[in-house]
Amino acid sequence: TGAQLARTARMKLVNFSLLATDGMARRGRIDTPRGEINTPAFMPVGTAGTVKAMYPEQVRETGADILLGNTYHLMLRPGAERVASLGGLHDFMDWQRPILTDSGGFQVMSLAKLRKLTEKGVTFKSHIDGSSYELTPERSIEIQTLLDSDIIMQLDECISLPAERKEMERAMELSIRWADRSKTAFNNQLNRALFGIVQGGDDAELRARSAAGLKSIGFDGYAVGGLAVGEPQEVMFRVLSEVTPELPQDRPRYLMGVGKPDDILGGIERGIDMFDCVHPTRAGRHGHAYTRFGVINLKNARHRDDHRPLDEASPNPNCRRWSRAYLHHLVKAEEILGAMVLSQINLAYYQELTSGARAAIEAGRMTDFAAETRAAWAAGDI
């Protein structure tokens, strides 16, 4: 089997191939034991072992190669050991393609109660039932391995922006020490990948030190963390332009928590390969539909008598099947079907955007693709 071959040949079963570039934009592919991931890739978020309001096969039908699971939520409920005893996260939720799990640190800082961060790790109380937990680099690697995740993340400390330079430096240096402990705990597993996470706030020198520190430890991929934490888009783009050139060309780059369609297009133009964000599914549950022409707020009464479909030229049948009036009705009535349909429509649009970018990079026409995409968003008429 592949695993036997890997053991004898000590061959890593997760590999990134850079297939084409166009400026800083990259078209690649990550091969994993559970299938390939075409990049640039958007990863739907399946926080607690489900992409909300979607069957797993529907998520696949939107074009997703990989989805994201949250360690924080799954360790609290149902518990990592319980998921492992039930065969791992893929069998638990019946998604047999790649899964990336985050390390839990970001959610601890944003969701948990009574958090205490030390050199060792972070202790906290569950936001669900108040029970106590400790998350260390070692325990996070153990949890993500118990979940049988295909791509796992180091434990890091992400601070929000703006921040004092001293604070950005402290968190960045702690994250490098935790990166080293994560790598040791990972113990060179061949059947999954371990990504490091670059920190350093909006300071170019700190970002460069973080990238250099992670490169010297050596990872299967490099995430850019510490962004999409309240900074303006131009700050995020400046940091990306400064830090992606510092990262290895032959490894995937993953921008965590990003974003809206224009954030993703700008991230691809600045050398990012992977994205994840709750936005398309969360916005769908709140009545916002993403289309080629931008976002439509279907709560708005102006749609009440509009018999037009959302987008009659869309490749997605759900954009052609119902009137805007009907979608408006579902949203106003808070019908479950509204959340289902808009989640599917938004995820499908995010996949149209990333698959369009992949084709454009292959054809050397990324500049045109970006211009055409932005022009359609600006044209508006929605």
Ligand X SMILES: CNc1nc2cc3nc[nH]c(=O)c3cc2[nH]1
**With respect to ligand X, which residue has the nearer C-beta, 175 or 318?**
175
Selected binder of ligand X within 40, 46, 257, 338 (CB under 6 A)? 257
If binding means CB under 6 A, how many residues of this protein chain bind ligand X?
A: 13
Give the catalytic positions in this structure: 102, 276
* The only residue of 158, 206, 340, 342 in contact with ligand X, by rule CB under 6 A: 158
Residue 327: partners with Cβ closer than 8 Å, 6 or more residues away: 289, 298, 303, 310, 338, 341, 342
Q: Does residue 194 interact with ligand X by CB under 6 A?
A: no
User: Binding residue for ligand X (CB under 6 A) from 40, 226, 266, 338?
Assistant: 226
**Residue showing tokens 């408006």:** 328
Give yes or no for residue 256 binding ligand X (CB under 6 A): yes
Helix intervals (H) in 232-306? 233-243, 261-269, 279-285
- As a whole number of angstroms, the distance between CA 89 and CA 55 comes to 15
- Identity of the residue, 98 or 226, whose beta carbon is nearer to ligand X in the bound complex: 226
Contact 15, 30 (CB under 8 A): yes
Extract the runs of DSSP E, i.e. beta strands, from the chain: 15-22, 25-32, 35-39, 41-44, 67-69, 99-101, 113-117, 122-125, 132-135, 151-153, 193-198, 221-224, 253-255, 274-277, 288-291, 294-297
42 belongs to the binding site for ligand X (CB under 6 A): no
Q: Which of 132, 121, 247 is nearest to 185 (CA)?
A: 121
Residues belonging to the chain = 382
Q: Is 102 in the site for ligand X (CB under 6 A)?
A: yes
Q: 298: which 2 tokens?
A: 């279907």
Nearer to ligand X, 13 or 112 (CB): 112
> To the nearest whole angstrom, how small is the minimum distance from the Cβ of residue 158 to ligand X?
3
Stretch that binds ligand X, among 162-170, 225-233, 313-321, 374-382 (CB under 6 A): 225-233
Q: Which stretch binds ligand X (CB under 6 A): 50-58, 70-78, 87-95, 98-106?
A: 98-106
Of 14, 76, 228, 236, which one interacts with ligand X (CB under 6 A)? 228
The minimum distance between CB 103 and ligand X, in angstroms, equals 7
Applying CB under 6 A, the residues found at the interface with ligand X are 102, 105-106, 156, 158, 197, 225-229, 256-257
